[in-house]
Structure 1
Amino acid sequence: MGNKNTMPTNVSAPLTQDSDEVQEIYCEECEKYEDRYAPADGFCVDCVEYKCVDCLRNHRRNHKNHTIVDKNNMPQDFYFIKYSAHSKELITFYCSECEKGACQVCKNNDHKNGRNVSHMPTLVKDIHFFSEIKYQFKYDSSLCLLNENTLLATDYGSCSLIIFKITKTTSQCYDTIKTLSIPWDITKVADNKVAVTFPNERLLGEKMIELITFSDSMSVVDSHYISVSQPYYGIAYSNKTLIVSNEENENVQILDMSGHIIKTIGKDHNGKPLFTAPIHLAVSPDNKTIYVSDWDRHTVTSITFDGKIKAIYKDDKLAQPSQLTVDDSGTVYVCGSASHNVHQLSSDLTKVKILLNESHGMNRPVSVAYCKGNNRLYVGMWNSNIKVFNLK
């Protein structure tokens, strides 16, 4: 084991709800019923719908109990993006058969029967888009919530850890910590401490796990490297042990905090491999179950700490599962990077529903983190920004 310093670099950047693509949001009521575009002047939380001045006036008169958010505070909703095939059109519909978004022109031309086409606001009654953290990841990322005000992310392409400071304001800064190799996964070890995997030994000279301790102001006060014998990708923490996944050897291992192997889990009782490409891990709130996403098998597997299989989740609408997270009730959320969705599962891996899909702006989601304090889900996209959702 050796000690090396990790140097932070302060960089200013926005964490905002603004959209670079579309400056104006339009009244959905006018668009649906009058076939015209009028600038939105507010947002009805109960209807999940943008409305112009006239429509808001009528809406307040007819629905006095509904909550209205004014123009300055209304969300910048995810589906108001321009469609590349029809540059003047906005994506405001979603086809459940094609599992793709559609503009008005596409709806009229390609989805004429309309049976499987829904207006997007009707699909999001149980989940509201909160904001978008605008940071351009270079390729892939993993997320870790240190507390409800601090989100950390690995940025594979830039060999960096990113610290996002989350507050109620719409614009914040982030700090960049340059790393000596490509960081893969990150997990919380303590209130001020994380562990990061570095499976690529070509840059470090050896395979490493780094333990980083932060001050209250999120400056690095200690950086400690653990030399390990195998290239570990996914990582989770439980009861003073590190649970790690080894994609090359197709197994999951439990390590002590010095990196020594306590247990290897890779085969079932018949000697058959349990995994093909285990790349991310999560642990249940009671610290009795390990959840493993398998990129090649398109599965999520739950196992006990002694290696017994509890359940396997496989669904034709889950492709290349990536990072997964578990909330305090035991609900599992897993990113389907190639299926462009996030699946919500019960603790025994029974499918609850596809919580997020392309209609929610999912485009190769690869990372996810859950915040208990505000019941919020952070979802990172491949080579793109982080979307933030309030769960009901």
Structure 2
Amino acid sequence: MESVLSISNDLDTPHSVREIRTRFACWGLAVMKDQLVITTGYDENSILILDINGSEIRTIRPDNYQSNKLPYPFHVKINRSETMIYISYNDGRKMVAYNSSWNVLFTYTDQDMKVPYGIDTDREGNIYLCGSISCNVQHVSSDGKLIKLLVTKKEHMNEPLAIKFYNDMDRFFVTYSDCDVVEVYDMCD
């Protein structure tokens, strides 16, 4: 009797297709032009670029304008047109914008930003950055200028960890450390 392979049509049940092994623990992950962009605090705080099969294409050990090491690249966000890469650096107050050739376009820093984590962009290309320890969410222009604080420590004492814009609306979601709530914010007045 021939065995028959059963294939589930249950779309609600995810299943692992395969694994992609990396040299180091992955902290952040994004996909750009069929390549995986992975951040890690190992190998001199590298950013690993892998093809979709897992072969390493490039290792980036970014320096800022003064050639000082940028410690602990954490979250990574790639804009819709895949022309800009934003990485928050967990040790310090930095978010760096790169072009698709991995040249630094600008470094965003702010005294009121402590331990940046989650990062997202809206349809106009503005950047939204969660300051975990500073308990805030900052709205930053596409060229790296602070527009305003959207969430402050006065309004919310928990540490924001992740932010995500909802489709093309002026609405975003924020998750917080040690909190079982996802807060929904509306940008409209």
Taking the aligned partners of 1:373 and 1:218, their CA distance within structure 2 comes to 25
Counterpart amino acid of residue 317 in structure 1 = D
2:171 touches 2:184 (CA, 8 Å); kept in 1? yes
1:358 aligns with 2:153: yes
Taking the aligned partners of 2:118 and 2:63, their CA distance within structure 1 comes to 23
Change (3 A) 1:223 1:376: farther
1:318 aligns with 2:113: yes
In the other structure, the counterpart of 2:18 is 224
**Paired residue for 1:347, among 125, 129, 142?**
142
SS at match of 1:225: coil
In the other structure, the counterpart of 1:242 is 36
Could you list the per-position Cα deviations for residues 234-270 of structure 1 after superposition, in whole angstroms to 9, with x for gaps in the alignment?
1111111111111122121221112222122214499
Larger RCO of the pair (alpha carbons < 8 Å, separation 6+): 1
1:362 touches 1:381 (CA, 8 Å); kept in 2? no
Any stretches of 5+ residues in structure 2 without a counterpart? 1-8
Taking the aligned partners of 1:312 and 1:269, their CA distance within structure 2 comes to 7
1:381 aligns with 2:159: no
Any stretches of 5+ residues in structure 1 without a counterpart? 1-214
**Paired residue for 1:262, among 57, 62, 67?**
57
Could you list the per-position Cα deviations for residues 352-383 of structure 1 after superposition, in whole angstroms to 9, with x for gaps in the alignment?
11111134425111111111244321111111
**Paired residue for 1:291, among 86, 106, 114?**
86
Taking the aligned partners of 1:271 and 1:261, their CA distance within structure 2 comes to 28
- The normalised TM-score by structure 2 is 0.85
Kindly name which structure, 1 or 2, has the bigger radius of gyration based on alpha carbons. 1
Taking the aligned partners of 1:279 and 1:269, their CA distance within structure 2 comes to 16
SS at match of 2:172: strand
How many residues align structurally? 178
In the other structure, the counterpart of 1:390 is 186
Taking the aligned partners of 1:314 and 1:268, their CA distance within structure 2 comes to 15
- The normalised TM-score by structure 1 is 0.43
Counterpart amino acid of residue 337 in structure 1 = S
In the other structure, the counterpart of 1:300 is 95
1 or 2, which has the higher helix percentage?
1
Taking the aligned partners of 1:364 and 1:237, their CA distance within structure 2 comes to 26
**Aligned CA-pair RMSD:** 2.2
Give the CA deviation at 1:286: 1.8
2:84 touches 2:97 (CA, 8 Å); kept in 1? yes
Give the CA deviation at 1:224: 2.4
Change (3 A) 1:236 1:216: farther
Change (3 A) 1:361 1:353: same
Q: Which runs of 4+ in 1 moved over 6 A?
A: none
SS at match of 1:224: coil
Percent identity between the two aligned chains:
24
